[in-house]
Amino acid sequence: MIFDQFISCLFVFFLVVLVQINSAFAHEPIFGLGPHVIFKGGVGIEVEIDSDRSSGNQNTKQELAIDTEIIYGITADLAATLVIPGILDMVGKTATEDQSSSGFGDLSLRLKYRFWRRDRPGLQDSAAIILGVKSPTGDENEKPRLGSGSIDYLFGLAVARESRRWYYFGDFRYRLNTEADQFKAGDKIFADAAIGIRPWLTEYLEPDWVFMVEMNWETQQRNELFGQDVSDSGGNRLFVSPAFFVTYRNWAVKGGVQVPVYQKLYGNQPEVDYRFALAMEFHF
């Protein structure tokens, strides 16, 4: 009986633990991840507008979405995040047809555990593991598809040094994609590094600005269809991403642009032109 309850708790724990991509906390990289968690019992709401555009090889893909994130501080070092993606407009254009769709995307759940922290006056070093799961809630019958149709997992490690003046972040993430309807998107590896500066050392209850530059590396394996590699899929990308944060007490506004500086994609694929994100976050 107790064993069953333990297994149930463990199952729920890992279900909650596993989540998706780059939902961020203020003062963390916009496109990468950091080890920040929210205070115990704290709730954070983040609304993020993000967009990306890819083009080339007679293909254009464009997406505009509003993602809502709900963050909860289970303990001072453990936070759960629910990500609800709302796709406002997803466009796919080829030489022969134009497609457009909108609606809810794939829901994600993430748990971040800050397993190490060293505090000194005006300085915090920390490291966290991130585990996530993405559920196939997006409509797969829409064209373009709003969801992958598969349950995908994310495993990550993030480290940071945050001081009053400088910020340093680094993370490594692995997204394990699973098969659905004989199709499997290639697994994805992310590696990010970021440096940030607070030009003005403001006090509490003053608007606070931080500027950051990120380097985001992405490697994706080839997709598989009926167990065979899809030739026009997978590859490597490197982005340089300037970002900003402005916060006041428990409010934050942040934004950034991902500019591709290197893309080596397999076969004929559209290349990313840009990605941007603008978010507002509120803690209470």
Residue (159 or 225) nearer to another protein, CB:
159
From the CB of 118, what's the least distance to another protein, in Å?
8
Interacting residues with another protein (CB under 8 A):
26-27, 36-42, 76-77, 114, 117, 119-124, 162-164, 198, 201-206, 208, 210, 245, 247-250, 252, 283-284
DSSP string of 89-151, one letter each residue: EEEEE-SS-EEEEEEE---EEEEEEEEEEEEETTEEEEEEEEEEEE---S-SSSSS-SS-SS-
CA 83, chain centre distance (Å): 9
From the CB of 192, what's the least distance to another protein, in Å?
19
Q: How far apart are CA 137 and CA 148, in angstroms?
A: 9
Smallest Cα–Cα separation from 239: which of 214, 260, 221, 269?
260
Residue (162 or 214) nearer to another protein, CB:
162
From the CB of 38, what's the least distance to another protein, in Å?
7
Distant-in-sequence contacts of 122-125, Cβ < 8 A, 24+ apart: 122/163, 122/164, 123/161, 123/162, 123/163, 123/164, 124/160, 124/161, 124/162, 125/159, 125/160, 125/161, 125/162
From the CB of 207, what's the least distance to another protein, in Å?
9
260 to each of 15, 25, 171, how far by Cα in Å? Answer: 34, 23, 19
Residue (190 or 245) nearer to another protein, CB:
245
From the CB of 250, what's the least distance to another protein, in Å?
4
The number of beta carbons lying within 10 Å of the beta carbon of residue 127 is: 17
From the CB of 194, what's the least distance to another protein, in Å?
15
Smallest Cα–Cα separation from 220: which of 171, 176, 180?
176
Residue (38 or 154) nearer to another protein, CB:
38
Tokens (6 digits) for 30: 């916009």
Smallest Cα–Cα separation from 132: which of 113, 106, 152?
152
From the CB of 219, what's the least distance to another protein, in Å?
32
Residue (211 or 217) nearer to another protein, CB:
211
From the CB of 41, what's the least distance to another protein, in Å?
7
